[in-house]
Structure 1
Amino acid sequence: MPCSRGPAKRKSNSLVNANESFKKRKSLSKEPSPALEENLTPDAMINNLQNIIEGVLKSGELPEAVRIELKGFDARAASVEEYSQKREQIRQMVGDSDFFDRKTELNLGVASLAGAQLEVDKRVTTRRMSRKLHDECGINEQDILYKGLDYHGCESRVSKELRDSRQASIIESCVDFQKQIQWKISLMDQVKAKSESK
């Protein structure tokens, strides 16, 4: 027998009043959009670090562990671009460029790892992305993934502690990389002074 009530409308098909206003959903992440998988290179990972440091320094709400790492830190003290320019300039002045290159080369491993951790935090990590990071940057998958949660206590507290420790670890890598750049620049300044005095 046919139903006499007529077809029932589902709620999802109901019309929306034209006068209703809707709020646009805010992004859950304050980070810029993730890099394309083709751009997962050590340079891109280091640029991630520089961008995040600027954002973290502007943020007033920092976990205690991050504030400890940033104590006495000056992001404007030296940049990778400044380092590269100075290195090229002094390399032309120095006769033994192989020795100079070995002494002034930056260790990009720690900075690349921290940048990769930031990239993983911005997106869902796929096996393809993990392989790309391993092939391009030499980063092991176990180093970029989160460790397991310790569920002894409140889940929200545990996840906050995990997030804070991850952020502190990334900031520590940024600070160490910045100090490495400053040290290499001071080393190059000494080489420049010696070569000019000859």
Structure 2
Amino acid sequence: MNTTEKYLVGVYDDEDEVLHAVTEVKGKGVKIEEVYTPFPIHGLDTAIGHPRTRIPIAAFLFGLTGLTCAQFLINYTMVFDWPMIIGGKDFFALPDWIPVTFEGTVLFTAFGMVFTFFVSNSLWPGKTPKTFDLRSTDDKFIMTINMGTNKKSEAEIEEILKASGAIEVNVKQF
């Protein structure tokens, strides 16, 4: 089954204009899918209505997993598998294990966050990205509206976008 999604794409010139346009368009009952910008705009995520990210929780859990794995590996190798007395110290010498534990924690966190980034942004091999307008990487600000999730007609939403300051309004189908 080949279904296509239809989007209205509003193109803006200025960052303040697009930030003001988001509140204006949402105030008229239009659900905004996403806004693509060439650089971050402070307050845009809250204006669109994105929930607070859970990335710090994922980073903490990856770090905790790395800490646990590093401690288990060191404990297994130095206490159970091949216990050696080095410099007159106990088998269980926790202060000596801190550097390896730190490195294991950082390693698991780094690889876990890269994996989380790719999964959360749907960036896997063979995936073709939805490119609404190539100018969003250079100097334009792109507001996308999914027509399937809005109750207003295409003409009404196009008028709302033009009234909010869009220099162009295009239709894209994927």
Q: TM-score range by the shorter chain?
A: under 0.3
Query: RCO (CA 8 Å, sep 6+): is it higher in 1 or 2?
Result: 2
Greater fraction strand: 2
- Output the TM-score relative to the length of structure 1: 0.25
Greater fraction helix: 1
